[in-house]
Amino acid sequence: MVRAFVALELSPEIKEQLTAAQDVLRGCRARLTFVEPALIHITTKFLGEIAEQKIPAVRNALRKVQAAPFLVTAHKITVNNPSRPHTVWCTIEDSGESGQVFQGIEDALFPLGFSRETRTFTPHATVARVKSPDPSLFESISQLKNREYGSCMISGMKLKKSTLTPQGPVYEDLLEVRW
């Protein structure tokens, strides 16, 4: 079995700026697990554990997803749910293109038995996971409210394998689709 997901890669400059945001978040009393800056990305579809023999079909389906390169901007740091935060993320803004890519991925993978996502797609880049919340988390986030973390062109997507280790996840590219 392979734990896999489809991602849009952010520029090294945005990842570097998000590292500075993580440094501010480290000052709060919430127990957070930080995403390794090099691994920060936009997940468009989490596939979960899939059989190794299904990977070629997934690759073929994803190759058919069409898009044109588009600009994204990494905006504010926030949480997925203010009353019960599980994830600290950076909002990603574009003109709807990442949502169109998401829909193309959904359409391509549904015939292979992957369920359609029931939640609305919200493009974001996870910077930390909340293990134990604390009100000081929101104080740290408020320090970041007027910052922007940069813009970059998204010119493709990747199918990634994720191996969980005690030191954190290890990602391996299984496919890159360029537009």
Alpha helices in 30-176 (DSSP H): 55-63, 97-109, 136-143
Catalytic residue among 41, 158, 160, 161: 41
Nearest Cα neighbor of 87 from 145, 123, 119, 128 is: 128
Residue 124 a catalytic site member: yes
Burial (CB < 10 A; 0-12, 13-18, 19+), residue 62, is buried
Catalytic residue among 21, 28, 78, 124: 124
Q: DSSP string spanning 60-71?
A: HHHHT-----EE
Please provide residue 139's backbone torsions phi and psi, each rounded to the nearest 5 degrees: -65, -45
Residue 86 a catalytic site member: no
For helices 55-63 and 97-109, what crossing angle results, to 10°?
A: 140
Please provide residue 8's backbone torsions phi and psi, each rounded to the nearest 5 degrees: -110, 130
**CB count, 10 Å around CB of 117?**
14
**CB count, 10 Å around CB of 53?**
8
Q: Which residues are catalytic?
A: 41, 124
